Amino acid sequence: MDKAPRVQEKSLHERILGDIEGRILSGEWAPGHRIPFEHELTQEYACSRMTVNKAMGELVKRGLIERRRRSGSFVTQPHAQSAVLEIHDIQREVQALGLKYLYRLDNRQLRKATADDRRLLEIKPNAPVLSLLCRHYAADVPFCLEERIINVATVPEASDADFSEVGPGSWLLKMVPWSAAEHRIRAVAADKSVAEALAIPTGSACLVIERRTWNGQNYITHVTVTYPGDRHELVAQFMPSQQM
Amino acid sequence: MDKAPRVQEKSLHERILGDIEGRILSGEWAPGHRIPFEHELTQEYACSRMTVNKAMGELVKRGLIERRRRSGSFVTQPHAQSAVLEIHDIQREVQALGLKYLYRLDNRQLRKATADDRRLLEIKPNAPVLSLLCRHYAADVPFCLEERIINVATVPEASDADFSEVGPGSWLLKMVPWSAAEHRIRAVAADKSVAEALAIPTGSACLVIERRTWNGQNYITHVTVTYPGDRHELVAQFMPSQQM
DNA sequence: TAGTGGTCTAGACCACTAA
DNA sequence: TAGTGGTCTAGACCACTAG
Interface touch B236/A185, C-beta < 8 Å = yes
Q: Does residue B38 register a pLDDT over 70?
A: yes
B134: pLDDT strictly greater than 70: yes
Of B187, B235, B239, the CB nearest to A205: B187
Which helix H or strand E contains B56, and what residues bound it? helix B49-61
Categorize the per-residue pLDDT at A114 as very low, low, confident or very high, splitting at 50, 70 and 90. Answer: very high
Residue of B nearest to A62 (CA): B242
User: Could you say which of B83, B89, B216 has the minimum Cβ distance to residue A85?
Assistant: B83
Q: What is the mean pLDDT of residues A68-82?
A: 79
Q: Residue B71, CB, less than 7 Å from strand D?
A: yes
pLDDT at A177: 66
pLDDT of residue A5 exceeding 50: no
Of residues A80 and A176, more confidently modeled:
A176
Q: How far is the CA of A67 from the C1' of D14 (A)?
A: 33
Closest to A218 measured CA to CA, from A180, A173, A174, A166: A180
Mean predicted confidence (pLDDT) in A59-66: 85
Specify the nucleotide whose C1' lies closest to residue B68 (CA): C5
- d(Cα A11, Cα B57) in Å, to the nearest integer? 14
Q: With a cut of 60, say whether residue B1 has pLDDT above it.
A: no
Quote the DSSP letter at residue B218: S
Backbone angles phi, psi at B132, to 5 degrees: -130, 140
Res A7: pLDDT:
40
Highest mean pLDDT pick, A71-80, A86-95, A181-190, A212-221: A181-190
Query: Environment class of residue A116 by beta-carbon count within 10 Å: exposed (0-12), middle (13-18) or buried (19+)?
Result: exposed
Question: Least CA distance to A83: which residue of chain B?
Answer: B85
Burial readout A18-28 (b: 16 or more C-beta within 10 A, e: otherwise): eebbebbbeee
Nearest nt by C1' to A67 Cα: D5
* Contacts B189 to A, Cβ<8 Å: 204-205, 229
Residue B166's pLDDT is: 86
Q: Would you say residue A42 has pLDDT above 90?
A: yes
DSSP run (H or E) holding B168: helix B168-175
**DSSP 3-state assignment of B2?**
coil
Contact call for A22 and B237, based on CB within 8 A? no
A51 Rama class: left (phi>0) / alpha (psi -120 to 50) / beta:
alpha
CA distance B76 to B83: 18
The side-by-side arrangement of strands in the sheet containing A65-68 is A34-35, A72-75, A65-68
State the pLDDT confidence band at B5, using cuts at 50, 70 and 90.
very low
Q: Residues 2-61 of A near strand D (Cβ < 7 Å)?
A: 3, 5, 37-39, 49-50, 53, 56-57, 60
B7 pLDDT exceeds 50? no
Whether the CB-CB separation of A66 and A60 falls below 8 Å is answered with yes
A181 CB neighbours in chain B (<8 A) are 81, 83, 237-238
A41/A238: higher pLDDT = A41
